[in-house]
């Protein structure tokens, strides 16, 4: 299982626009083959910093999504709202808490 974390810093006045984009695309992303979970998180100390946290079967499933028209159109709408470069991590869980 691959976990993808993407940290995004938005222009404060563009946060509502991002939330609209996310709302419009979240269920379609969640329905993608290989996607098991998609969450949106917000930094407690910086109200314009959001993170997506998603679970994928593997890197191939994530890359299939990233090569899709859905990703390209969603990312095009999202990246123009950034105040800073996004930071992305692909990680794997080594241990699960009891």
**How many other CB atoms sit within 10 Å of the CB of residue 44?**
7
Chain centre to alpha carbon of residue 61:
14
User: According to the model, what pLDDT value does residue 25 have?
Assistant: 97
Contact between 48 and 10 under an 8 Å Cβ cutoff? The reply is yes
Instruction: DSSP letter for 17, please.
Output: H
User: According to the model, what pLDDT value does residue 2 have?
Assistant: 97
Whole-number percent of the chain with pLDDT over 70:
99
User: According to the model, what pLDDT value does residue 97 have?
Assistant: 76
Positions of the chain with pLDDT under 70: 98
For the chain, the average pLDDT equals 96
User: According to the model, what pLDDT value does residue 96 have?
Assistant: 80
CA distance 12 to 54: 24
Q: What are phi and psi of 25, to 5 degrees?
A: -110, -15
């Amino acid at each position: 299982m691959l976990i993808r974390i993407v940290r995004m810093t938005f222009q404060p006045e563009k946060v509502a626009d991002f939330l609209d984009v996310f709302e419009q695309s979240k269920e379609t992303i969640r329905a993608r083959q290989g996607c098991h979970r998609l969450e949106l998180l917000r930094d407690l100390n910086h109200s314009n910093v959001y993170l997506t946290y998603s679970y994928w079967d593997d890197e191939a499933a994530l890359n299939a999504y990233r090569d899709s028209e859905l990703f390209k159109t969603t990312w095009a709408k999202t990246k123009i709202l950034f105040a800073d470069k996004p930071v992305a991590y692909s990680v794997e869980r080594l241990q699960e808490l009891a």
